[in-house]
Amino acid sequence: MNKADILLDIKNLTTSFRIKDDYFAAVDDVTLTLRKNEVLAIVGESGCGKSTLATSIVGLHNPDDTKTEGEIIYHKKNLVAMTDEQFNNVRGAEIGFIFQDPLSALNPLMRIEQQIEESLIYHTKLNKDARHKRVIELLEQVGIPNPQRTAKQFPHQLSGGMRQRVMIAIALSCKPAVIIADEPTTALDVTIQAQILDLLKELQTETEAGIILITHDLGVVAEIADRVAVMYAGQVIEEAPVNELFTNPKHPYTRSLLNSIPQMNVEGEKLNVIHGIVPSLKNLPRTGCRFSSRVPWLDTSSHEQEPRMHEVAPDHYVRCTCWQTFRFEEESDVV
């Protein structure tokens, strides 16, 4: 990989929340890169640390109860070490973000035009007329049919899909190099989901931005991602180009996630799916393989104490000692 193509270089990022007097890592030693012009999907079950990773990148944690360590390098600067004031210049302008619930992110009392304008006032020197032109242009760009009318409306007057388009317009307003989208289509119905994903992909191609798309939906990943990082219990456990991940998954957890997609299984049966849930933050095992409690039939005594990332193919990494020999319980008798 060409180093010049790296937009965000996340190194050993650990974000811990305070619970009573102790800190517990929700993102634990994550190393990842986002490259120019790509959609990097982050997938994993609820509670595995995806949103914490997103909010760490956009610096939205309260330092009173959250500790962030490691580095997020953007244009040779470490975002983790920035003051709030420095971060305010990067957030929104160079790194845009889109969250799951546009209604709670939008101000109910402000017209759409004002909300998009706010970011332009903060980050650009455009005058009133130029800002209005840009607002209309952005609303057009995100496929809003009557931009002049929508600009004058309040959030509650718009449908969920239209509100998410407005959020995308705000995220794009300053032409960011990086966009972080956390479950941007989860709250929308399926047809609208597809439209919003198409829009994101189209905008990404046009603007050459790098997008980190967080989702628990592998259908979304298949549709739009170039590369995928799978998270489990705060760690990245597998990383690969999208086709490689879907055709040649190695980690037991990734294989289980893929097996649980009904349409990938012709008989409609969910075979070789590992049951259980992501442990809560306080109860996460901090030593040994985090996944071992979900594969109780395995004798893990010979597995690496702290499984490291193994390169199994070009650009394909897996955090599992026995990726070559792992078998599901149903497969155990098969020689």
Ligand X SMILES: Nc1ncnc2c1ncn2[C@@H]1O[C@H](COP(=O)(O)OP(=O)(O)O)[C@@H](O)[C@H]1O
Residues that bind ligand SF4 (CB under 6 A): 252, 289, 291-292, 295, 298, 300, 303, 307, 320-322, 326
User: At a CB cut-off of 8 Å and minimum separation 6, what does 63 contact?
Assistant: none
The distance in angstroms from the start CA to the end CA of the chain is 39
The verdict on 51 binding Mg ion (CB under 5 A) reads yes
Q: Report the candidate in 263, 299, 235, 88 with the shortest Cα–Cα distance to residue 174.
A: 88
Sign of CA dihedral 229, 223, 208, 102: negative
Q: Rule CB under 6 A: which of 46-85 touch ligand X?
A: 46-52
Q: Rule CB under 6 A: which of 179-198 touch ligand X?
A: none
One-character DSSP codes across 215-229? ES-HHHHHHH-SEEE
- What residues form DSSP beta bridges with 180? 97, 212
Q: How far is the CB of 276 from ligand X (least distance, A)?
A: 15
Nearer to ligand SF4 by Cβ, of 269 and 329: the residue is: 329
List the x/- string, 5-44, binding to ligand X by CB under 6 A.
------------x-x------x-----------------x
Binding partner of 332, given ligand SF4, ligand X, Mg ion, none, CB within 5-8 angstroms per partner class: none
Q: Is 16 left (phi over 0), alpha (psi -120 to 50) or beta?
A: beta
Q: How far is the CB of 44 from ligand X (least distance, A)?
A: 6
Nearer to ligand SF4 by Cβ, of 64 and 299: the residue is: 299
Range list of H helices, 128-241: 128-141, 147-151, 160-172, 190-207, 218-224
Nearer to ligand SF4 by Cβ, of 94 and 304: the residue is: 304
Which residues here bind Mg ion, judged by CB under 5 A? 50-51
Which residues here bind ligand X, judged by CB under 6 A? 17, 19, 26, 44, 46-52, 280-281
